[in-house]
Amino acid sequence: MFCITLETYDPFFNLALEEVLLKSRKEEYFILGINYPSLIIGKHQVAHRESDTRFVTKNSIPVIRRISGGGTVFHDSGNLNFTFIRECEEGKQIDFRRHTRPVIDFLFSLGVNARFEGRNDIKVDGLKISGNAEHVHRNRVLHHGTLLFNSSIDILRNSIRQDKSCYTTRAVGSNPSPVMNLKDKLSGFSDINEFIREMVHYFSASIPGFEIYNLSTVDAEEASALADAKYRSWEWNFAYGTEYLFKNTFLFEGRLQSCSFSVTDGKIRDCIIIGSQKMMSLAEKMNGCRHMVPELLNILETENIGFSDEQIFNFF
């Protein structure tokens, strides 16, 4: 098994690289990496329903869809991502316990009593430190998970939408759990990079055929191309997936407005706003528009409707 410690913190590239190594290579890999602040949603989730659109927009936190299912997770410089890419016997590819067991054993070697709980979590003292997801491609499986080492819990919580009552959809939803950082249970680690080095050392002694691997130029070029074509695209991150219905009420110029619309392929359909004449006229302009903050702001500016940058989030 090849071990890769990622040098870039670019979440678009790192997610693309996993897909390249899963689908275009035959070797087995264990990957460790850190991403810049980003919200990573499951393949079958609705981006705006899972993210707090106001917070992630104002803080320039990208929302990125991964190829595996499951719920939403937050990445930042205090979170370590681990990935296994393996050949598997047909019918036995999905096995969360198999791929979390080595991580749990490593944590146990450090004196941390971690447990696999629920469908895909690792917890310590009942608090979540790791969310995991898997994706099967032919006879290969991609398993990736998070490890909250010293992540910003406040930003994590603020990035994920708490009140989802405005959204109705068949899409997969997240199951939020109380979380904690591993650093609260560990001593002797000055930072996350020291933790990574210790993990690589432990796995090199416990996994047969464990070998350090440096990405080739071809690896990097393929991942960069896929990151640009797919993982940075609106089509993948927001337009992909299940349609949804949005409903909300809000005040505009002292009058209560009632707004509803459906979103299919990322675009607003059947928009109705009951309230002021300005808002009713706006509803017609919103039809066919991408359900995205910049696009709606542009319509409001074009129609000369005095919506503030804050009020735009009434549509999210």
CATH topology of domain 244-315: Enolase-like; domain 1 (3.30.390)
Asked if residues 99 and 134 have their Cβ atoms less than 8 Å apart, the reply is yes
* Euclidean distance between CA atoms 204 and 47, whole angstroms: 38
Locate the domains of the chain by residue range.
2-239, 244-315
Q: Interior CA angle at 11 toward 221 and 16, to 5°?
A: 40
Residue 36 in this model has a pLDDT that exceeds 70: yes
Mean pLDDT computed over 178-186 = 95
| Reported confidence tier of residue 92, pLDDT bands at 50, 70, 90 | low
Task: Name 226's Cβ contacts closer than 8 Å, sequence gap at least 6.
Answer: 16, 19, 20
Burial of 67 (0-12, 13-18, 19+ CB in 10 A): buried
Q: Examine the pLDDT at 77 and tell me if it is beyond 80.
A: yes
pLDDT at 88: 87
Q: pTM value?
A: 0.95
DSSP for 161-187 reads: -S--TTEEESS-------B--GGGT--
Sign of the Cα torsion 267, 57, 49, 235 reads positive
Residue 308 binned pLDDT confidence (cut-offs 50, 70, 90):
confident
Worst-scoring range by mean pLDDT, 85-89, 182-186, 311-315? 85-89
**pLDDT over threshold 90, residue 309:** no
Residue 231's nearest CA partner among 2, 79, 16 is: 16
192 Cβ contact partners less than 8 Å away, ≥ 6 residues apart? 34, 77, 78, 80, 149, 150
The band of 247, judged by pLDDT with boundaries at 50, 70 and 90, is: very high
Average of pLDDT values for 135-158?
96
Considering the domain 2-239 in this protein, what is its CATH number?
Answer: 3.30.930.10
Least confident of 98-107, 150-159, 168-177, 218-227: 168-177
Q: Is 244-315 the same fold as 2-239? A: no
At residue 91, does pLDDT exceed 80? no
Q: Is there a contact between 291 and 266 (Cβ–Cβ < 8 Å)?
A: yes
CA neighbor of 112 nearest in space, from 185, 4, 27, 195: 185
Q: Give the pair of three-digit tokens for residue 232.
A: 């940075």
Q: Is the pLDDT of residue 90 over 80?
A: no
Percent with pLDDT over 70 in the chain: 99
Residue 38: is its pLDDT beyond 70?
A: yes
Q: How confident is the model at residue 283 (pLDDT cuts 50, 70, 90)?
A: very high
Amino acid at 151: S
φ, ψ for residue 294, nearest 5 deg: -60, -40
